[in-house]
Amino acid sequence: MEKQKPRVAIQGIKASFHEEAAFKFFGEDIETVECNSFKQTFEKLQNKEADYVIMAIENSIAGAILPNYSLLMNYNFPVVGEVYLPIQLHLLAYPGVKFEDIKVVTSHPMALRQCLDFFDDYPHIKLVEGTDTAACAKRVHDEKLTDTVAIANALAAKLYELDVLERRIESNRTNYTRFLILTDMDNTEKIKADKASLCFQVGNQVGALAKVLNIFAEHDLNMSKIQSMPVLGKRNEYNFYVDVEWNEQQQYDIAIRQILKYTQNFNILGEYVKNDSPPAP
């Protein structure tokens, strides 16, 4: 019996950065489940229409994607992995179109912002926001546009048969996005984890958070991320999202037991294998 391909829910369409990140983590032998929103990816997983969700959580230029932290808590699916993807942006045109033909460039607002320096030299080109980098590339292909180009990745150029007019037009060559991989409890496997994503609240008194952070330090846990978000409807109350890494499992276990004394609503969002360091440009 042929083994079923993993079904991976992504925000966006095929050849989006989410699909590229999914290929990097799982390999290309997957079934991509296209979704209009991050919330819909979680709904697909909840309804057993997908086996995994891959979701952007932070960008090295734009920072944390805060609404996605709320989804982590609301749906409570375990994080089982992470992947870093360099964001490389190219100018894509319908075959035969030349640079001097361009009047309009379209892409996701974030991608447009990351390429503004390039377009400073071409003030006559109008920048138009779209829903998704890959969707903009697909539109150039489907509508055979000759005065409009898209900003997207190399995957979109290949899938939608577009010419690359200019490569790497992003302003910052060290731009990358971190993605989390989530699944339901049925797909979790016992692994030798060395990283965890945690969420907790602390009391509203002097030094409450410092006590928790000191416990991490005392047990040689590296805190690679901390993000605070207000608790909805509660004044002066915050959820703290923290990523920690360790070399010795025992150190992590002891630290967690101690932290429980100083926190409320403590959640382990996932324990997984640390990905490689963010990629070089």
CA distance linking residue 26 with residue 225, whole number of Å: 24
pLDDT in tens, the chain (281 residues): 557 899 999 999 999 999 999 999 999 999 999 999 999 999 999 999 999 999 999 988 878 899 999 999 999 999 999 999 999 999 999 999 999 999 999 999 989 999 999 999 999 999 999 989 999 999 999 999 999 999 999 999 999 999 999 999 999 988 899 999 999 977 677 788 999 999 999 987 888 899 999 999 999 999 999 999 998 888 888 999 999 999 999 999 999 999 999 999 999 999 999 986 555 54
CA pseudo-torsion sign 263, 266, 272, 274? negative
Residues whose CB falls within 8 Å of the CB of residue 183, separated by 6 or more in sequence, listed in order? 45, 51, 52, 53, 77, 78, 80
This prediction's pTM: 0.90
Ordered by where they begin, the domains of the chain are 7-86+175-187 (3.40.190.10), 90-166 (3.40.190.10), 195-272 (3.30.70.260)
Cβ-based burial of 120 (10 A; exposed 0-12, middle 13-18, buried ≥19) = exposed
CA distance linking residue 90 with residue 95, whole number of Å: 15
